[in-house]
């Protein structure tokens, strides 16, 4: 049975991922500090997390905690981070310390103890656009929003015929052992379903496309969580 280490696995995203992986027969170990900002004071094991998940309460910046867990892992999903946008304005040092130094500690442990695959969760503050397609299968890339579109708050890309373009996943390169995924959309879609159901439909289309093309362990959770 493959063991998957999930850092920050007791958070909003992590719990759903843990439970889905357990249902697919994986062994799951979670490293999480149960931050009061997320879990409240005197936090205990979240009741929503599967009983078979091994929860280690510890700090991602502590190499003596991280390295033994990496040694036992076949794959790693790195979710541990301070995610509050507001903290980036008034708690700069703490945010840098946890997000950057913590990730560095994990990566150095992985250099010493390689795993089959590393999946890194990117933040919402990610710049640039990927590939898009239309109903005819035409691929669009290097798209940019004009100043007029930005002033008019027109965020979606359209082709010359006015058809809404759909983002598509990059092709999975099996020669690599790391993947970076931007997962802000999942939470955004769940909490604003009634207000943005059209956008959620577009998200479903994209996630279904990912599921059909790349049925790997992480993508199963995406689609199952939104369905």
Distance CA 18, CA 4 (A): 9
The confidence score (pLDDT) of residue 82 equals 82
The confidence score (pLDDT) of residue 203 equals 53
Q: Are 202 and 166 in contact (CB under 8 A)?
A: yes
Q: Which residues of 145-179 are buried (b: 16+ CB within 10 A; e: fewer)?
A: eeeeeeeeeeeebeeeeeeebbbbbeeeeeeeeeb
Distance CA 3, CA 25 (A): 10
Q: Where are the beta strands (DSSP E) in the chain?
A: 3-7, 27-32, 54-57, 75-78, 117-122, 131-133, 139-140, 166-168, 178-182
pLDDT score of 204 more than 70: no
Q: Are 9 and 34 in contact (CB under 8 A)?
A: no
Quick: pLDDT tens for 91-143: 788 888 888 899 999 999 999 999 999 988 876 555 456 788 999 999 998 88
The confidence score (pLDDT) of residue 189 equals 43
Q: Are 26 and 1 in contact (CB under 8 A)?
A: yes
Domains of the chain: 1-128+171-182 (3.40.50.720)
Distance CA 76, CA 115 (A): 7
* Three-state SS at 154: coil
- In this prediction, residues 45-66 reach a mean pLDDT of 94
Distance CA 166, CA 157 (A): 8
Q: Are 194 and 207 in contact (CB under 8 A)?
A: no
* Three-state SS at 211: helix
pTM higher than the cut 0.75:
no
Distance CA 177, CA 67 (A): 18
pLDDT score of 32 more than 90: yes
- Residue 3 φ/ψ, nearest 5 degrees: -100, 125
C-alpha angle with apex 192: 83 to 204, nearest 5 degrees?
95
The confidence score (pLDDT) of residue 72 equals 96
Quick: pLDDT tens for 74-83: 999 999 988 6
The confidence score (pLDDT) of residue 221 equals 40
Distance CA 216, CA 3 (A): 15
């Amino acid at each position: 049975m493959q063991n998957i280490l999930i850092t920050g696995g007791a958070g909003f995203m992590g719990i759903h991922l843990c439970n889905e992986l357990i249902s697919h027969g994986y062994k799951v170990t979670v490293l999480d500090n149960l931050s009061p900002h997320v879990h409240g004071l005197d936090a205990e094991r979240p009741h929503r997390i599967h009983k078979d998940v091994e929860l280690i309460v510890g700090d991602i910046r502590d190499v003596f905690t991280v390295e033994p867990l990496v040694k036992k892992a076949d794959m790693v999903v790195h979710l541990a981070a301070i995610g509050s946008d507001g903290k980036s304005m008034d708690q700069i040092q703490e945010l840098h310390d946890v997000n950057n130094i913590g990730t560095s500690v994990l990566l150095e442990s992985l250099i010493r103890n390689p795993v089959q695959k590393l999946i890194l969760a990117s933040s919402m503050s990610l710049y640039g656009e990927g590939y898009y397609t239309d109903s005819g299968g035409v691929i669009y890339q290097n798209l940019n929003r004009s100043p007029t579109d930005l002033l008019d708050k027109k965020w979606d890309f359209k082709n010359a015929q006015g058809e809404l373009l759909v983002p598509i996943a990059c092709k999975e390169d099996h020669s690599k052992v790391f993947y970076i995924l931007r997962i802000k959309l999942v939470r955004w879609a769940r909490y604003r379903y009634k207000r943005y159901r059209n956008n959620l439909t577009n998200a479903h289309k994209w996630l279904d496309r990912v599921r059909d093309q790349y049925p790997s362990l992480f993508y199963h959770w995406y689609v199952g969580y939104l369905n």
